[in-house]
Amino acid sequence: MNKSSLSVPLDSSPLPLDDSSDRVSPVILWHKKTRMAAVESKRAKLWGGRFVGSTDPVMEAFNASISYDKKMWKEDIQGSVAYAKALLKANLLTETECNNLITGLEEVEKEWEAGTFSIQPGDEDIHTANERRLKEIVGEVGGKIHTGRSRNDQVAVDMKLWLRGHLVDISSHLVNFIQVLLERAENEKEILMPGYTHLQRAQPIRWSHWLLSHVWPAVHDLERLTGLYLRVNVCPLGSGALAGNPFNIDRQSLAEDLGFEEATENSLQAVSDRDFVVEYLFWASLLSSHLSRLAEDLILYSTSEFGFVKLHDAYATGSSLMPQKKNPDSLELVRGKAGTLTGNLCGFMMVMKGLPSTYNKDLQEDKLKLFETAEVLAGVLQVMAGTVQTLKVNADACRRALSEEMLSTDVAYYLVKKGMPFRSAHEKAGEVVKLSESLHCSFSSLPLSELVKISPLFTEDISSVWNFEHSVEQYQADGGTALKSVNNQITRARKFLTNFSLA
C-alpha cells in the first residue's frame, strides 16, 4: 500500500504549526491540530529513534491500548520498582539513581491514586505512559529504568501481577457464594421436592441435596483455581524482548521480590505465553456455565407453574407493560453472561492459534478479553449469591409437586428387599403403576388384595412405602439424598472451605 495515503507527511508540511491566525479555516485548523498532536506523540515515542514521519492518526488510535491497559497502572509501577532494585543489584544503577527512580515511580503512583495522572498524546500504553511521566519527574535518569527490559516482558509481568490480585478477589466472591448455598442447605434440610430427569418428575429428593448439587461444581472450581494460580504465579520479568537479559539480572530474587513462586524457564516462551489468560478465560467460562445451570433451575422453579421459589424484589424486575410481572432478570443475565464469557474464551483462542514464536501485537487483544471477563464474573458471582441468599422457598409448593407415582422405584426396591431380582421387581412395579391408572386410584389407596395379585410378596408393610420421607431416607449411601449424606456433604464442603487458601 502507498504509505503516503495513510501517514500524515509531517516533514513536508506546508502549513504553519502555530494556529494564532484567525484567518485560517476550521478544516485547516483541524489538520494543524492533528499534526501538532502527531509531532508531540512522535517526540514522546519510546521507539521513535529510527522512524521518519509520524504515525497515521487512525493507526495511532488503533495501536493504542492505554484506554484499557491503564487498569494495570499499579502493577506496572510495582514491576518497575522491583526492576530498579534488580538493576541496582546488577550494578547498573548507583544507589542514588535507584532511589531517584523509586521516588519518581512513587510520585507517578500518587498521581494515579489521586486521579491526577494526565494521559498525553503518544502514551501508547500504560508502560509508555508511566515511563514518560517518570522521565518528566526525575529527568535523564528515568531512561535507565528500561535497561535490558522490553515492553514484552513488562506487559507479561504486569498482567500476571494484575491477574494474581484478581484471582484472590474472585476466590473470595466464590467462597461467599458457596457459603450462601451451604447456609441454606443447613437450614432447610426438611424440605422435600421432586428431583427431575429430562425435566420429568423422577424421585423425591431433599431441597438441600439439590442446593448441594450446585455446591460441588463450585468447590471444584475453587480447586481448579488453585492450579491456575500456581501457573500465573511465575515471573516473566527479565526475559527482555525475547532473547533474555544481558545484564546479569538476578531473576530469582526479582521474582521473589514481586511475590512470585519462581521465574519462567525460557525467555522466548515467557514473552509469548498467554496460556494463563486462556486458562483463566476457560476457568471463568466453566464457572459461569455452572452458575447458568443453577440460574436455569431457579428460573423454572420461580415460574407460577412450579412456584417452588420466589425471588426477592432486589433481584427481580417488573414489566413496563404488564403490571403483574416479576421477572428473574438477575438469573437470566447470569445465564446469558455464560455465553458472553465462553465467547471471550473462544475469541481469544482464535487470536492465539497459529501465532509465530514470541511477541506479536495480536497478544494485545488479551487484555480486552481478560478485563471484560473478570468484571463480568465478579458481578455474576455477587448477583448469584444475593439472589440465592434472599429468595424464599415455598416448602408447601415443593411438597405438593411430589406425586405418588414418583414412588414407583420404591415399590421395586420394596420387592428387591424381599428377595426379588431387580428386573422382575421393576416389571411388577410397572404393573402397580398400570393398576393405579386403571383404577384411577393413588398408590396409597390401592387395596392390598389387588397388590398381592401382582406379587405375593406385597404385605401390610407396603404402607410404609407410601411416604416421601421414607423414600428419601433410603438413600443413605454417601452422596445420596438421605439426611445423613446431606449432613456429611455440608461438613465436607465446610472443611474444604476452611482449608482453602490460594497463596
> Catalytic residue numbers?
198, 319
Question: CA–CA separation, 60 vs 362, rounded Å?
Answer: 16
| Stretch binding ligand ARG (CB under 6 A), from 93-101, 148-156, 387-395, 429-437 | 148-156
Q: Does 41 bind ligand ARG (CB under 6 A)?
A: no
State in angstroms the smallest separation of the CB of 155 from ligand ARG. Answer: 4
| Stretch binding ligand ARG (CB under 6 A), from 33-41, 74-82, 136-144, 358-366 | 358-366
State in angstroms the smallest separation of the CB of 151 from ligand ARG. Answer: 4
State how far Cα 68 lies from the chain centre: 18
Burial of 232 (0-12, 13-18, 19+ CB in 10 A): buried
Which residues of 56-153 form beta strands (DSSP E)? Answer: none
Q: Does 125 bind ligand ARG (CB under 6 A)?
A: yes
Q: Contact with ligand ARG (CB under 6 A): which of 151, 164, 209, 251?
A: 151
Q: Does 155 bind ligand ARG (CB under 6 A)?
A: yes
Element (H, E) at 195: strand 192-197
Q: Does 333 bind ligand ARG (CB under 6 A)?
A: no
Closer residue to ligand ARG (CB): 152 or 213: 152
Q: Does 276 bind ligand ARG (CB under 6 A)?
A: no
Q: Does 55 bind ligand ARG (CB under 6 A)?
A: no
Backbone angles phi, psi at 458, to 5 degrees: -70, 125
| Stretch binding ligand ARG (CB under 6 A), from 81-89, 131-139, 200-208, 356-364 | 356-364
State in angstroms the smallest separation of the CB of 129 from ligand ARG. Answer: 11
- Footprint of ligand ARG on 361-380 (CB under 6 A): 361, 363-364
Q: What grid cell was written down for 64?
A: 493504542
β-pair type (192-197, 200-206): antiparallel
Number of residues that bind ligand ARG (CB under 6 A): 10
Closer residue to ligand ARG (CB): 141 or 368: 368
Closer residue to ligand ARG (CB): 139 or 347: 347
Q: Contact with ligand ARG (CB under 6 A): which of 260, 306, 315, 359?
A: 359
State in angstroms the smallest separation of the CB of 65 from ligand ARG. Answer: 4
Binding mask 80-119 vs ligand ARG (x if CB under 6 A, - otherwise)? ----------------------------------------
β-partners of residue 204 are 194
Closer residue to ligand ARG (CB): 63 or 444: 63
β-pair type (262-263, 234-235): parallel
Q: Which amino acid is at 16?
A: P
Give the three-state DSSP class for 202. strand
β-partners of residue 196 are 201
Q: Does 152 bind ligand ARG (CB under 6 A)?
A: yes
State in angstroms the smallest separation of the CB of 20 from ligand ARG. Answer: 37
Q: Which amino acid is at 102?
A: I
Backbone angles phi, psi at 197, to 5 degrees: -125, 145
State in angstroms the smallest separation of the CB of 79 from ligand ARG. Answer: 13
Which DSSP category does 200 fall into?
E
State in angstroms the smallest separation of the CB of 229 from ligand ARG. Answer: 22
Burial of 236 (0-12, 13-18, 19+ CB in 10 A): buried
Q: What angle do CA 462, 467, 468 make, to 5 degrees?
A: 140
Torsion angle, alpha carbons of 188, 192, 197, 200, to 10: -130
Q: What grid cell was written down for 59?
A: 493507526
| Stretch binding ligand ARG (CB under 6 A), from 50-58, 149-157, 338-346, 417-425 | 149-157
Closer residue to ligand ARG (CB): 151 or 184: 151
Closer residue to ligand ARG (CB): 65 or 436: 65
Closer residue to ligand ARG (CB): 37 or 46: 46
Question: CA–CA separation, 379 vs 236, rounded Å?
Answer: 30
Is residue 363 a contact partner of residue 269, using CB atoms and an 8 Å limit?
Answer: no
Question: CA–CA separation, 248 vs 251, rounded Å?
Answer: 9
Give the three-state DSSP class for 63. helix
Element (H, E) at 205: strand 200-206
- Footprint of ligand ARG on 427-456 (CB under 6 A): none
Q: Which residues bind ligand ARG (CB under 6 A)?
A: 65, 69, 125, 151-152, 155, 359, 361, 363-364
